[in-house]
Amino acid sequence: MNNNDPRPLFVRALDQTQQLVDTTGPDALDLPTPCDEYDVRTLLGHLLTVSARIDLALRGGDPLTIPVVTTGVDDVPAAWKERRVSLDETLADNAVLGRVCTLPWGTLPGAAAIAAYTGELATHAWDLAKATGRVDQLDQDIAAHVLPMVRQFVPADVRGGHVPFGPVVPVADDASPYDQLAGWQGRQP
């Protein structure tokens, strides 16, 4: 395995997110999430958008053509799995690593885009797990791997506007990797 290939960790983040999506019951849909503007239903719709945006960006398209939240989907797990099939096909093409991708926050090579989206998936998996009382089911290794990158590329001092995070929430140095990631992303662990 190539240590510079971000796809294996990204697939782990996809798998983790899919497991959470698959096991979120209808009784949880109206629960609040750490994202003030989202309840669980809206967060699931955003996760559907994220999966479609990732695929479109990695194929060279414009992810901003897809709304921030996918609505009107009755079976979110089935919709996620459909999008996952396409995304897995995209990821299987080694050319994706060097392809120039336009993301909502800039233009990057595919490898960097995949790494960045791993951080987004990890954060939203935490959001969903936190909202539904399942933080203990998260793979702390994923957060440990993305935390240095997120700290490097998401500025601590400029928040709001095109940096869609609240102020950094201080957490203990020995807090779990997911708590540290959540705090950096402006969420209260």
- Quick one: average pLDDT of 40-52? 96
Fold of 7-138: Four Helix Bundle (Hemerythrin (Met), subunit A) (1.20.120)
Query: Out of 9-13, 41-45, 65-69, 131-135, which region has the weakest mean confidence (pLDDT)?
Result: 65-69
Work out the pLDDT band at 106, boundaries 50, 70, 90.
Answer: confident
DSSP 30-87: TSB-SSTT-BHHHHHHHHHHHHHHHHHHHTT--GGGS-SS--S-S-HHHHHHHHHHHH
What is d(CA 111, CA 43) in angstroms, rounded to the nearest whole number?
26
Torsions phi, psi for 175 (to 5 deg): -65, 160
Instruction: Please state, for a pLDDT cut of 70, what percent of the chain lies above it.
Output: 95
pLDDT value, residue 162: 57
Tens-place pLDDT, residues 168-186: 899 999 999 999 999 999 8
What is d(CA 170, CA 86) in angstroms, rounded to the nearest whole number?
38
pLDDT value, residue 1: 45
Distance of alpha carbon 14 from the chain centroid: 8
- Quick one: average pLDDT of 21-44? 95
Work out the pLDDT band at 159, boundaries 50, 70, 90.
Answer: low
Q: What is the mean pLDDT of the chain?
A: 92
Number of residues in the chain: 189
Tens-place pLDDT, residues 139-158: 999 999 999 999 988 777 76
- Is there a contact between 138 and 16 (Cβ–Cβ < 8 Å)? yes
Distance of alpha carbon 91 from the chain centroid: 16
Q: Count of CB atoms within 10 A of residue 144's CB?
A: 15
CA atoms within 13 Å, Cβ hemisphere of 111: 9
**What is the SS3 assignment for 16?**
helix
